Amino acid sequence: MSSENVRPVGAWALRRAVIVALLAVWGWAAASAFGQGDAAVLGLRLFLLGDYDRAFQQFGQALAKDPTRAVAVAGLAAVHLARGETQPALSSFGAAAELAPGQAWPLACLGSAQMQAGDPKAAAASYRQALTSRPEWAAVRARLAYALYCQGLTAAAMDNARTAARYGERTVAPLVQAAVMLRDGDARGALQALGGTGAAVVATAAGPAPALRMASLASALPGLETGLPTSTVLPTPAPGGVRITWPRDGSSISGRVEVQAEFDVPPAYAVVYIDDQFVSVTNASQVRMPWDTRRWPDGVHRVRVDAYDSSGRCVGRQEIQLIVANRERTGDATQAALDAALGVALAEACLPSPPPWDPPLLYAEAARVAGQPEAALDVVEHPFSCWPWHRRLREELHLACRDLGLANPSPAEILVLPRPGQVAVTFDDGPHPRITPWLLSVLAKRRVRATFFLVGQQAVQYPELVRAIVAAGHEVAVHSYTHRNMTRLAQVEIERELAQSRWAIARACGRRPTLFRPPGGHYSADVRAAAAALGFRTVFWNANICRYVARTLNGMIEGLDGDLARGGILLLHNGEDETPLIVEELLDRLRARGCELGPVGELSGVESVYVSAGGRAQVK
């Protein structure tokens, strides 16, 4: 595969765009059907666009109109979830499940919130329950597989991942399959699960669902480093030992009910509040309070029990949220169908997505273990430059370089050329839209081949110039990605400059350079170590045009010619300096006195590029 394929393409973004477009039609249909715009439809559209504040308002409005509308309750919960407010999300999704009994989507939502809360066991139960009424819902089955994997139940995870894949799920199921296979030592199977080239899987990695990310599969198993937050879903704490035992938190109630609460230590007295209003007091050892909910408006209410000691100090408290739903359900079939569709769209938006580094990471590991380090390097280099602080990505990059035999090249630096009379012609910076084509024609006219140390971000901007350089027989090499002073960067940032630049050049011309020159010549032990880990040799120079910029053109030529009296490495620029004014005469003069002109790698007898060809590694 080419590294081009690694570029994340927004599969989720695409799906989201389709949903948003569908909702535009729905919104219009709903507006004509109900005489005005449906707030829940608008809320979902805003939610999918990431406008959580306005989505919350719209779902709130929908709920005010019909407090028993499950999709509006779930919409509010989804906003909570997207904001990372897990507890209210959990209880409101629970309420939505009560309001829409027998429907799969609220349970799918609940499962996702439980996943986010770090409770894969509860999540698996909710996903399973959702699947009993909709077993073909592949997106949910894939998350069930993931929740099982997180508990270490790899066989069950594998079964469900396979089923989900059969139903066409392509985002999570292949990852779970690959993770299980890798764990069992079947690297080739893992590669196959990831789709042969891995490109498709890598492409699906882009989607930021609302803020909900699953932990890295590559590290989610117990015993390994866990990406999941430690479990935050404990039973709601009951400070001071107050436990409201009925109704259940987040449930939906109607008619007459009895509020029940118990205490670890019987208090002097206990007070019951509904929405902060005093409703009852008791000095019994437990609370048994009848409540006629029909006297309260439909909608969400809070019930709180406070325990007091004999001096009147509050020693315990618990509060729960309930939905009171007494009004007759609207029997409108159109509304029900719309809400079911909205619910499914909302649930899919809430499903956790793999972090974008997971697919390339799993693929790279599988490829490396299967003895294909080249494929590993192809797939991991660009993700590493996007997330250089991801420890495992960096490890895989180093391992791929090591297995390819690129790491720790000897010699580490090229300072001089082996034979007197050799002159390596090198151009730093660029590619440059005006200077590079002109330089190429000057060199072609004289049949001189040279080395171009390119700046990665410029290679991204002018890939056709990179190809032109290679096509003319010159060497390409790395001169960092952003042309910053590398000695001022952290080790991992230096590696990123190198990897990202190499990726950019490889993407343009299909060759990975192995030669590197630090911007400004700023070099340190850190830069040296980074270059070694990624398989670069550092090239210095013996004659530098910068040394003579204050002189006349003739003075410059004299100076450089003098520095190269016995040969060596010539540093010119492929950008805005005096190079274009002197390069022709300088090359003519060197040639006239019998120098052997050429690219630095070739004259030094080292490989200047690593060519990725047809899956077979070769250093050229």
Residue among 169 and 428 whose Cβ is closer to Zn ion? 428
Binding string, 427-466, against Zn ion, x = CB under 5 A? -xx-------------------------------------
Q: How far is the CB of 520 from Zn ion (least distance, A)?
A: 6
In sequence order, the 6+-apart residues with CB closer than 8 A to the CB of 609 are 475, 476, 511, 512, 513, 514, 601, 619, 620
Q: Which residues of 300-337 are buried (b: 16+ CB within 10 A; e: fewer)?
A: bbebbbbbbeeeeeebbbbebbbbbbbeeeeeeeebee
Q: How far is the CB of 452 from Zn ion (least distance, A)?
A: 12
In sequence order, the 6+-apart residues with CB closer than 8 A to the CB of 87 are 117
Torsion of CA 167, 168, 171, 175, to 10 degrees: 60
Closest residue to Zn ion using C-beta atoms: 428
- 80, 479, 483, 573: which is the annotated catalytic residue? 573
Residue among 105 and 541 whose Cβ is closer to Zn ion? 541
Residue among 116 and 544 whose Cβ is closer to Zn ion? 544
- 306, 378, 428, 561: which is the annotated catalytic residue? 428
* Contact (CB, 8 A) for 181 and 187: yes
Q: How far is the CB of 426 from Zn ion (least distance, A)?
A: 11
**In this chain, which stretch among 114-122, 353-361, 500-508, 513-521 interacts with Zn ion, using CB under 5 A?**
513-521
User: What tokens were used for 175?
Assistant: 């990852």
Q: Which of residues 375-434 bind Zn ion (CB under 5 A)?
A: 428-429
Backbone angles phi, psi at 510, to 5 degrees: 80, 10
Residue among 231 and 485 whose Cβ is closer to Zn ion? 485
Residue among 119 and 429 whose Cβ is closer to Zn ion? 429
Q: Which residues of 408-419 are buried (b: 16+ CB within 10 A; e: fewer)?
A: ebeeeebebbee
Closest CA to 148 of 134, 137, 161, 135: 161
Binding string, 199-238, against Zn ion, x = CB under 5 A? ----------------------------------------
**In this chain, which stretch among 171-179, 198-206, 207-215, 512-520 interacts with Zn ion, using CB under 5 A?**
512-520
497 binds Zn ion (CB under 5 A): no
Q: How far is the CB of 422 from Zn ion (least distance, A)?
A: 23
Q: How far is the CB of 414 from Zn ion (least distance, A)?
A: 17
Q: How far apart are CA 127 and CA 109, in angstroms?
A: 9
Q: How far apart are CA 542 and CA 41, in angstroms?
A: 69
80 is catalytic: no
Q: How far is the CB of 497 from Zn ion (least distance, A)?
A: 12
Q: How far apart are CA 335 and CA 489, in angstroms?
A: 59
Closest CA to 324 of 58, 107, 73: 73
Residue among 365 and 429 whose Cβ is closer to Zn ion? 429
Closest CA to 300 of 275, 272, 279: 275
Q: Which of residues 92-111 bind Zn ion (CB under 5 A)?
A: none
Residue among 41 and 489 whose Cβ is closer to Zn ion? 489
Q: How far is the CB of 598 from Zn ion (least distance, A)?
A: 21
Distance of CA 120 to the CA centre of its chain: 21
* Contact (CB, 8 A) for 217 and 23: no
Can you state the percent helix, strand and coil of the chain, rounding each to 5? 50, 15, 30
Residue among 26 and 427 whose Cβ is closer to Zn ion? 427
Q: How many residues bind Zn ion (CB under 5 A)?
A: 3
428 is catalytic: yes
Member of 198, 388, 519, 567 binding Zn ion (CB under 5 A)? 519
Q: How far is the CB of 518 from Zn ion (least distance, A)?
A: 9
Closest CA to 599 of 409, 417, 406, 415: 417
Q: Where are the alpha helices (DSSP H) in 100-133?
A: 104-116, 120-133
**In this chain, which stretch among 273-281, 409-417, 490-498, 515-523 interacts with Zn ion, using CB under 5 A?**
515-523
Residue among 76 and 455 whose Cβ is closer to Zn ion? 455
- 269 beta partners: 308
Backbone angles phi, psi at 182, to 5 degrees: -60, -40
Q: How far is the CB of 429 from Zn ion (least distance, A)?
A: 5
Bond prior to 359 in cis (omega within 30° of 0): no
Q: Which of residues 5-44 bind Zn ion (CB under 5 A)?
A: none
Catalytic positions are 428, 573
Residues near Zn ion, by CB under 5 A: 428-429, 519
